[in-house]
């Protein structure tokens, strides 16, 4: 399974990061989104990331030009069909992902491998909606993609050994480390991480501590680089809520009940950094706790 060309669906914070690391590793990248504006923002983000590396003297101007030269953008989903590998990185909603795969199927080449960057949704179920469950896998990158070294590989029940081996090799080419997870709700990282964030929200909800004290306690008392509420804002509180719902529905255990305060913040549109407000208000020069 020789993989040279890659299609990425979704130009948000995950999609543009995935595009950057593939282009830097020498792959021909076609980045897709429903919005030309989003594609423009993605290229601007990638350019800023590369400029920071130049400032740190870990990248040259020629290397930057070569990386950007390997990334093309399109709003035409069908044009991704003949790529060797396609990575879906759209919103963490199963209905959206299945619709994307349905729209893509008529244009797919016979040997194209399909993957999803989902952080929690069943790979077996997503694969079953396509014509190639043997060539379908979970390919879960961590955020921020250019910085984080882990990629979770999740096999669906029908994923072939050849597909798994091909993607594991790709992870090595990207200079990252693969961790294999069984296809259970939220896989490994988010099975552990998101309930911790949810528990921190419960601690806030129940008045155990305020935002600042909870985050300081985990940073200074558990040596976490970022407090759980700050991390929730960074991930996106809507994404955290979606993953908690997947855990609750998939495992039928009340310990995965989303905190009502988390639900309230998402209902208010206070979904974290990307919205300007979450457990912190980011609209000023310095983030200020909202509770």
- Residue of 49, 117, 140, 198 with catalytic role: 140
Token duo for residue 250: 């998939």
Q: 73 forms bridges with which residues in the sheet?
A: 31
Verify whether residue 190 is a known catalytic residue.
yes
Verify whether residue 224 is a known catalytic residue.
no
Token duo for residue 47: 């350019």
Secondary structure element (H or E) that encloses residue 154, with its range: strand 150-155
Verify whether residue 152 is a known catalytic residue.
yes
Which is nearest to 151 in space by CA: 171, 137, 121? 171
- Residue of 88, 94, 152, 230 with catalytic role: 152
Token duo for residue 67: 């990386």
Token duo for residue 12: 């948000």
Token duo for residue 92: 């963490």
Verify whether residue 206 is a known catalytic residue.
no
DSSP, res 239: H
CA 106 – CA 131 distance, rounded (Å): 10
- Residue of 16, 117, 181, 190 with catalytic role: 190
Alpha helices in the chain (DSSP H): 13-24, 36-55, 61-69, 94-104, 123-128, 161-173, 189-205, 211-221, 228-235, 237-251, 260-268
Residues 264/238, Cβ–Cβ less than 8 Å: no
- Residue of 49, 89, 117, 119 with catalytic role: 119
Residues 108/101, Cβ–Cβ less than 8 Å: no
Q: So which residues are the catalytic ones?
A: 119, 140, 152, 190
């Amino acid at each position: 399974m020789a993989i040279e060309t890659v299609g990425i669906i979704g130009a948000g914070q995950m999609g543009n990061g995935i595009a950057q690391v593939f282009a830097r590793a020498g792959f021909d990248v076609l980045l897709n989104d429903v919005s030309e504006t989003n594609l423009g923002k993605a290229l601007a983000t990638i350019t800023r990331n590369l400029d920071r590396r130049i400032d740190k003297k870990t990248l040259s101007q020629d290397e930057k030009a070569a990386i950007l030269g390997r990334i093309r953008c399109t709003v035409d989903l069908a044009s991704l069909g003949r790529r060797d590998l396609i990575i879906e990185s759209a919103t963490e909603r199963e209905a959206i992902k299945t619709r994307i795969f349905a729209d893509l199927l008529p244009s797919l080449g016979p040997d194209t491998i399909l993957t999803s960057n989902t952080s929690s949704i069943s790979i077996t179920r997503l694969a079953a909606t396509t014509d190639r469950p043997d060539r379908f896998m979970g390919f879960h990158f961590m955020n921020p993609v250019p910085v984080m070294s882990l990629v979770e590989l999740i096999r669906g029940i029908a994923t072939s050994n050849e597909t798994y081996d091909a993607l594991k090799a790709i992870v090595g080419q990207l200079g990252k480390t693969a961790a294999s997870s069984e296809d259970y709700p939220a896989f490994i990282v988010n099975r552990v991480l998101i309930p911790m964030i949810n528990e921190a929200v419960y601690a806030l909800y129940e008045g155990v501590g305020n935002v600042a004290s909870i985050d300081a306690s985990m940073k200074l008392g558990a040596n976490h680089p970022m407090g759980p509420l700050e991390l929730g804002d960074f991930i996106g509180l809507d994404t955290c809520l979606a993953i908690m719902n997947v855990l609750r529905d998939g495992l039928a255990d009340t310990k995965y009940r989303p905190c009502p305060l988390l639900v309230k913040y998402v209902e208010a549109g206070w979904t974290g950094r990307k919205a300007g407000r979450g457990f912190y208000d980011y609209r000023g020069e310095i983030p200020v706790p909202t509770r």
